[in-house]
Homo-oligomer: A and B are copies of this chain.
Amino acid sequence: MHKEILEDIGEKELINRLGKFMPKNQISDDCALIKTNNENLLVNTDSLVENVHFNNISICPQDLGWKAVVSNISDLLSSGSKKTLGITVNLILPSKTEWTWVEELYKGINKALKKYGGIILGGDCSKGNEKIISITAFGIQGELELRRNACKPGDIILTTGIHGLSKLGFMIQNKINFDNNVSLNERLIIKSIKHFCRPQVYPDFQKNLIKSCTNKKIKRIGCTDSSDGLFQAIQDLTTASNCKAIINYEEIPKDKDWPRGEEWDEYYFFGGEDYELVFSLPKKWANNLSRLDKKIYKIGYFADGEPSVEFKDKNKNKLLKNIPFKHF
């Protein structure tokens, strides 16, 4: 059966069809209008490039659409967004792309928006040699400004969840060989693939921070997300805040079936695409919040010193010596 590709559809009809994924008033105009109601906006933009950030083996278009939205919302939340307003979608697609691929992508986009809020505000579609999905997301800045440079020596370092699962899911999907001596149980395999294909984020994070607050004077909190891995997130906080992070290896939350060993620690710390929040709070506030939300873990603290990351247990520091270096 011949599958309909973009070349068959033509530009005019394509624009027309894409318009149907958007709210009515946003179609057929040069710009999108965002009503701000006297609140400041957070904006984030990210591109996913085929064969750099994704491939058609490891992720289906519907999951890709979901993930493209969620990775942007994660950045908004890590800056203190209290509400996602919407996104613009910029697609670059080869002429041979099947229409069903586009449809599935938008299904995933709209499912994520339905779950986490926001609408498609506008977009653009152009021809290119490889598929690229660029999303710009808009949120409303909440009362607490979450910023990379707002960590303070003495603050407790916390995270919203378990790391490494997305990396494991990626490896399973791409049939990449890992540690042959380990047999993974089915629950962990399914969970990892889900973390990789359909990551979740924390829309109530700002609300819970405010609820557990112990010092109303503090309006800026150190925070980022772990889209580039837990280690990179902590390092980014130390660099922006000019302090040192001490991590307690024993306190790091792991899946109960997560294998032991250096290789698995590496996946844990350097895996990436986890979309957990990594942040810092004064001690009392940290205790309050982790009582309120049992899935938030205290994993260490910030101290005076040059920007760096180290383990409380010095034996573990060798783990950080082999930081995988990403070449452009």
Contacts and interface: CB of A to CB of B under 8 A. Distances in A.
Interface string A117-158: 000011110111110101010110100000111000000000
A326 B6 CA distance: 13
B10 A52 contact: no
B28 A236 contact: yes
Given A52-B128, A126-B53, A75 B31 contact: yes
A9 B327 CA distance: 9
Interface string A78-98: 110100000010101001000
Chain A facing B: main interface SS: mixed
B7 A327 contact: yes
Nearest to A43: B32
B92 A49 contact: yes
A34 interface: yes
A31 B42 CA distance: 6
A130 B127 contact: no
B34 A43 contact: yes
A225 B33 contact: no
B44 A128 contact: no
Nearest to A77: B30
Interface in A1-28: 6-7, 9-12, 14, 28
A76 B45 contact: no
A38 interface: yes
A29 B75 CA distance: 9
A208 interface: no
A45 B79 contact: no
B30 A225 contact: yes
A37 B95 CA distance: 43
Contact of A36 (B31, B39, B90, B128): B39
A140 to B, nearest CB: 10
Contacts of A36: 36, 38-41
A35 interface: yes
B49 A9 contact: no
Contacts of A132: 92, 128, 132
A239 interface: yes
B149 A28 contact: yes
A136 B122 CA distance: 11
A148 B30 contact: yes
A31 B127 contact: no
Given A11-B328, A148-B29, A225-B30, A49 B79 contact: no
26 contacts: A6-B328, A7-B328, A11-B327, A29-B148, A30-B148, A30-B224, A31-B42, A31-B76, A33-B40, A33-B43, A34-B41, A37-B38, A43-B122, A44-B122, A45-B88, A45-B134, A45-B136, A46-B124, A47-B92, A47-B124, A49-B127, A49-B128, A53-B126, A90-B90, A90-B134, A128-B132
Interface of A: 6-7, 9-12, 14, 28-47, 49, 52-53, 75-76, 78-79, 81, 88, 90, 92, 95, 121-124, 126-130, 132, 134, 136, 138-139, 141, 147-149, 224-225, 236, 239-240, 325-328
